[in-house]
A and B are shown apart, each in its own frame.
Chain A
């Protein structure tokens, strides 16, 4: 019995040294890094704090602590965000503004579960900061003669009713510059209720009031739309089809679009993925997801007046015979 006790005690000690001590050391290490970054941020030494975080990322690219701090720093620094230049490519990021990194980090933080309370606290803080300031804006193209997975060019400009927070203002500038330079909007999200595709502008600044709407100017035309986007209401931006400059289909690798004559009846196997079958001018169009093998059933779609004529003939003949017989 005593030896068994010693055995368990030994196992317990080994487990302790494997699990508890490394965890304790790790927590200490995290607290130390956190304290260092916190103090740098408090002294507004953001550049140094970001460099320190780069070192953490080099040793752990998926460190919740580092990724959360990066979000917090980029969303809260107000020192010189206005003077930062917008990214031209991935190699030219201004250290004062990097919203692409913020979005990548937010996507990551939304998916992971932090085990450490310190990391959990930072993760919550970073996500809360993002959600308070930004959300994805949905853009719809109602009643347009299109199916889905297409890009449009439309020269929009979002004009806020008042000056936004520095990082929000910069993000809005980035969005407006994108549209000004002829950037595309990609309609690749599907709304199953309305059976239509919509586009998303990621990280759109929320007006931090309970009321307030953006003026959305369509450049060169003088037209203006309005978009309510505040703490209470997040509207979908509905662009009239006539306002767009160009439209190009860009299907994903698991989709094809098939055009048929309207007198054919086309049956497509049922699918859970986004699917659209509709009539566009002189064609009927099927935008369908594909597998390695796909079967479609075609049949003749007879016109109604053909049927009237056919049955009219039959009735006429029958009447003629009847009269003849009588």
Chain B
């Protein structure tokens, strides 16, 4: 009896294990399907019907047994593509799986729109977060911590819009990960954000284990950093080590401890502003700087704070200007590189005026002007702009490096002109390998500038084409096009035709050439040569087309790649006739003699 019970128990447990994991995966899959269908509907609403159809087709391939996916695809095909046949194909499957679905043909316009509308009650962020967290939990279970951490980071995008329930799960997973990696600050942050009462029952046990340790840790942390001196020491240490992200985190954790101490809170705000500037979060830095503006007029704030705030605000403004200029600088540089010199210079002149108006040194603009002039090959002007820079205020290292680059670029350009002439000659002589080696060496140089790239890549592309490297030729032609003002249609068409011809033929198309032929015979003889039509030479059947007549002592020109039928005009061979006659006469003599 015991044995039977044991066997039954084993069978039950194994069936339970076998059934559980697919169910869990099935759940994740269903969620994913739901999210993707919703995404397709959103695409349709944004007038991106074709993309919605593509997405749904992929979904139907992955979930062929989903009635909803098949149905939505049929409706989309009907609405977007007016494809009745496609609509019927998918509707048939959907109807088989769920007979309650009505054919899109029977539905009114309003009903169709209703099907493709996005329900406002849906919470995509929740579903997305749920799917991501399932994956994170799986990797945590397998102890693939790095993978889990990277997935967890991605899940963060959905947190702001997610409900409290999923946010809680997110913070719990964060706490587990940071606990493993030993990041105290981040772990405390997650711990503080968790609402234990909203956690599901199966997670509460995990939480309780972590809670034992982290509640003590948080208490210790609070006790320690309620002390201003220790908090300041920690801030100094993080600033010294340039760990500005940790500094931001630390300030956000200790900020609530100093609600009643406005003086220390002001100092923390200034540190926070500095950290934001250093990590490049100019948007939030500007907001904070504006919110601290009142300090400048307040008499309660110490003078040192005011000076520090003015300094930091200047930095924020400068960074903001740089960001704005950086975007416009790209436009200006692009214009100048494409030959619109005056338009590009107009941008730079505007930057200079802006800098002047804001009383900011124009050195950085001069440096950029010098750099761009080097890139377009105006080396003298590049040097002129470098001279305008105030060397005492600007980085000497950068100036020296740019001076050196201008010198090298000038030398390279001389070499380029010299070698390109040689390469043209080599290409004409069909010495492609040597030409290729020289070109690759030219391309490898960092000084190959915009104006030179077009012709360098074009010639290299045509050489690769001759070598039968069609994809490489295409890559180079694309690069040539990228750095030229026009399209490279002729080159691209040439590559395409050669590629299509050579595909599975393993050869390149070449024309025939004329060569000389001598057909020597024992004595001078006329002969006729027929050219045979290539296409009609199938199965060895020669179809004579035209003929050339020549003498065996004179050469004749024949075109290679062709087939010819050569027929010498020889006299008829009468030897056998004479021999036969002789044979008969001989025997007749013999008979007569008898």
Contacts and interface: CB of A to CB of B under 8 A. Distances in A.
B579 interface: yes
B443 A59 contact: yes
Contact of A313 (B469, B505, B581): B581
A257 interface: yes
A252 B508 CA distance: 9
A43 B590 CA distance: 105
Contacts of B504: 175, 178, 183-186, 201-202
Interface string A182-215: 0111101000000000001110000000000000
A170 B350 CA distance: 56
Nearest to A303: B576
Interface in A236-291: 246-261, 264, 280-281, 283, 285, 290-291
B586 A318 contact: yes
Contact of A311 (B472, B505, B579, B588): B579
Interface stretch (B77-85, B175-183, B387-395, B564-572): B564-572
A47 interface: no
A258 B564 contact: yes
B51 to A, nearest CB: 16
B408 to A, nearest CB: 13
A313 to B, nearest CB: 3
A159 interface: no
B298 interface: no
A146 B475 CA distance: 39
Contacts of A178: 503-504
Interface string B582-594: 1111111110011
A142 interface: no
B527 to A, nearest CB: 8
A233 interface: no
A144 B532 CA distance: 20
B575 interface: yes
Contacts, number: 227
Contacts of A298: 519-521, 552, 568
Interface stretch (A30-38, A98-106, A222-230): A98-106
A259 B513 contact: no
Contacts of B560: 251, 253-256, 290
Given A43-B150, A186-B507, A294 B589 contact: no
Nearest to A102: B471
A79 interface: no
B497 to A, nearest CB: 9
Given A293-B518, A316-B582, A253 B513 contact: yes
A175 B503 CA distance: 10
B535 interface: yes
Interface residues of A, number: 82
Given A54-B475, A300-B573, A316 B517 contact: no
Given A256-B562, A259-B563, A324-B593, A316 B570 contact: no
A4 interface: no
Nearest to A312: B583
A319 interface: yes
Contact of A300 (B563, B570, B580): B570
B351 interface: no
B521 A59 contact: no
Contacts of B469: 104, 107-108
B563 A316 contact: no
Interface in B494-549: 495-496, 499-500, 503-507, 510-513, 515-522, 532, 534-535, 537-542
B440 interface: yes
Interface residues of B, number: 79
B566 A313 contact: no
A290 to B, nearest CB: 5
Given A186-B506, A293-B555, A258 B472 contact: no
Interface centre among A90, A183, A317 (most CB of B within 10 A): A90
A309 B576 contact: yes
B578 interface: yes
Interface string B275-312: 00000000000000000000000000000000000000
Interface string A289-326: 01111111111101001100111111111111101100
A91 interface: yes
A145 interface: yes
Nearest to A285: B540
Interface centre among B476, B506, B521, B570 (most CB of A within 10 A): B506
A258 B471 contact: no
A320 B592 CA distance: 9
A251 B522 CA distance: 31
B460 A90 contact: no
Contacts of B579: 306, 309-314
A78 to B, nearest CB: 15
Interface centre among A200, A259, A306 (most CB of B within 10 A): A259
B474 interface: yes
B250 interface: no
Contact of A317 (B61, B511, B562, B582): B582
B570 A309 contact: no
Given A89-B500, A323-B590, A294 B518 contact: yes
A60 interface: yes
B249 interface: no
Nearest to A316: B586
A317 B586 CA distance: 4
A93 B471 CA distance: 10
Contacts of B517: 294-296
B586 A249 contact: no
A58 interface: yes
Interface centre among A89, A264, A311 (most CB of B within 10 A): A89
Given A104-B469, A313-B579, A61 B443 contact: yes
A252 B511 CA distance: 8
Nearest to B510: A253
B492 interface: yes
B538 A316 contact: no
Contacts of B476: 61
A132 interface: no
Contact of A57 (B475, B563, B588): B475
B317 interface: no
B521 A320 contact: no
Nearest to A310: B579
A235 interface: no
Contacts of B589: 317, 320-321, 323-324
A124 interface: no
Given A57-B475, A90-B496, A310-B576, A283 B512 contact: no
A94 interface: no
A319 B590 CA distance: 7
B271 interface: no
B503 A251 contact: no
Nearest to B437: A62
Contact of B578 (A294, A299, A313): A313
Interface of A: 43, 54, 57-62, 83, 89-91, 93, 98, 100-101, 104, 107-108, 145-146, 151, 175, 178, 183-186, 188, 200-202, 246-261, 264, 280-281, 283, 285, 290-300, 302, 305-306, 309-321, 323-324
24 contacts: A58-B479, A60-B444, A61-B460, A89-B500, A90-B470, A91-B474, A91-B492, A100-B499, A101-B471, A248-B535, A248-B538, A251-B562, A253-B513, A256-B562, A257-B564, A259-B542, A259-B565, A260-B565, A260-B567, A264-B568, A302-B575, A306-B573, A321-B586, A324-B589
Given A260-B565, A323-B593, 20 more contacts: A58-B479, A61-B440, A90-B500, A100-B503, A101-B472, A249-B534, A249-B537, A251-B512, A253-B512, A254-B560, A281-B540, A295-B520, A309-B576, A309-B579, A310-B579, A316-B590, A317-B583, A317-B586, A319-B590, A323-B594
**Across chains A and B, which 3 residue pairs bring their CB atoms closest together, nearest first?**
A316-B586, A313-B582, A320-B589
